[in-house]
Structure 1
């Protein structure tokens, strides 16, 4: 049940709301939610256990990062939300790109984000300005009403990411799709495979095959390792061959 509304406004980029609720995805408790445009939840905080990571996809991404390069030092993250992943890795060097300044301000005011590592601007343009081979991970977690922007899943962008990764580095993408029959997901993984020797896709199963589901893609020049029991419910997905996405 939705309780107190802390913030509601339309910015240049999103319709944003911050509110408290006593139920989240069927769980009872005390939660604070950051929401974009309708029902698109971007982040949530357990007010009784703020250190807890509520959603499955950041837990799965964290496991993949720790499994493939536990001693990594630097990561570039596109899409801030409430800062869940960067907060978890607070002792690592994160640079976070966020298009909407209001999102960053709200993460500090209502969700306790206290790091000074967020840069306002277009994530792709900001990544272009970084030194080559500077990062161990690049993470793409950016959405609009239409989904992940095309410029963040194109061949040229994946080549840009590859140039910014050091040896053994990897890219992780949080996407929404409809599983094995989603032509766009097929295309994104096919495009990713043009740049990286190894790719893996994971999906969070939903009740109906037509439902939008969280999908994580990972690309690396090394074999991708993971333990299924630590993937927060995500299972491997085998997308079909797709087209190449170009700018």
Structure 2
């Protein structure tokens, strides 16, 4: 992506768009610390970080944890099929293309104008094979045949006020049904203490998948700290060798919680 000029408008102003659907302002600012990187904010809150020069650079911690799983669950460098539910600025789609060229991807986003705005100012790297679908995350699942993807990434939750139809057992079972043998379901859950919502989502994924791991900052597991946890559902027993690889990959201090410890997290008194 070197040589691609994306950034402020010709008059030096920051690209902005008032999103009609939610009435909030979307804007794309240059990252003051990383040349060629940009930050998408909505309603004044940072939503996505994109490094156009180096798409393999994932800045946000929870996305880095998801990216680490995408690195190890299949042989390195091999193309994979990925469904992204919640497109944002397509940070992970860019990452997959950089690390696994030739991958087939689908990104689902509810707000068409947001996706158009992102692609106008932060175009995807040449050669990226990513179909874009404007739809609700649950409704979009009906477009695909079972076992259509190697990885399904759900990144739509904004805390406990998430749409109810995305927090039901049937939805999680639909996610796992879309993954091919050996695939993974990755769910980002942001929450505040005592992590009531995150614990509920972990329980739902444990019911739908054969095994589940939780990836997070070490301080999150106690339930006394706000932030993001990443849930990883598999169709087999969690591979023991994944744990040290993911811990070593960071961000630090990070933990991978499985088995009885995860069961305790799910059922802890709140």
Would the TM-score normalized by the shorter structure come out above 0.5?
Answer: yes
Please state which band the TM-score falls in when normalised by the shorter chain.
Answer: 0.7 to 0.9
In the other structure, the counterpart of 1:140 is 154
1:66-101, Cα deviation, whole Å (9 max, x unpaired): 212234621111011111111122221111111011
Equivalent-residue separation in structure 2 for 1:117 and 1:184 (angstroms): 31
Q: Is the 8 A contact 1:138 1:172 kept in 2?
A: yes
Equivalent-residue separation in structure 2 for 1:137 and 1:131 (angstroms): 14
Cα distance, 1:147 vs. partner?
5.2
Q: Is the 8 A contact 2:86 2:154 kept in 1?
A: yes
In the other structure, the counterpart of 1:7 is 16
Structure 1 unaligned regions, length at least 5: none
Is 1:93 matched up with 2:104? yes
Is 1:80 matched up with 2:87? yes
1:7-57, Cα deviation, whole Å (9 max, x unpaired): 04132046232132554xxxx345522112332x11123466565322222
Give the alignment partner of residue 37 of structure 1, picking from 24, 32, 43: 43
Cα distance, 1:215 vs. partner?
0.9
In the other structure, the counterpart of 1:173 is 187
Give the alignment partner of residue 251 of structure 2, picking from 227, 232, 245: 232
Give the alignment partner of residue 61 of structure 1, picking from 52, 63, 66: 66
Query: Bigger relative contact order, structure 1 or 2, given CA contacts below 8 A and separation 6+?
Result: 1
Q: Over the residues paired in the alignment, what is the CA RMSD in angstroms?
A: 2.9
Give the alignment's TM-score, normalised by structure 2: 0.76
More deviation, 155-164/41-50? 41-50
1:145-180, Cα deviation, whole Å (9 max, x unpaired): 76543322321011111222211222000110236x
In the other structure, the counterpart of 1:125 is 139
Equivalent-residue separation in structure 1 for 2:84 and 2:31 (angstroms): 30
SS state of the match for residue 139, structure 2? Answer: helix
Q: Is the 8 A contact 1:206 1:213 kept in 2?
A: no
Cα distance, 1:120 vs. partner?
0.7
Q: Is the 8 A contact 1:37 1:145 kept in 2?
A: no
Give the alignment's TM-score, normalised by structure 1: 0.82
In the other structure, the counterpart of 2:7 is none
Number of paired residues?
235
1:8 and 1:205, CA in 2 relative to 1: closer, same or farther beyond 3 A?
A: farther
Equivalent-residue separation in structure 1 for 2:215 and 2:176 (angstroms): 21
SS state of the match for residue 127, structure 1? Answer: helix
Q: More helix by proportion, 1 or 2?
A: 2
Is 1:156 matched up with 2:175? no
Equivalent-residue separation in structure 1 for 2:49 and 2:84 (angstroms): 18
Equivalent-residue separation in structure 2 for 1:209 and 1:189 (angstroms): 13
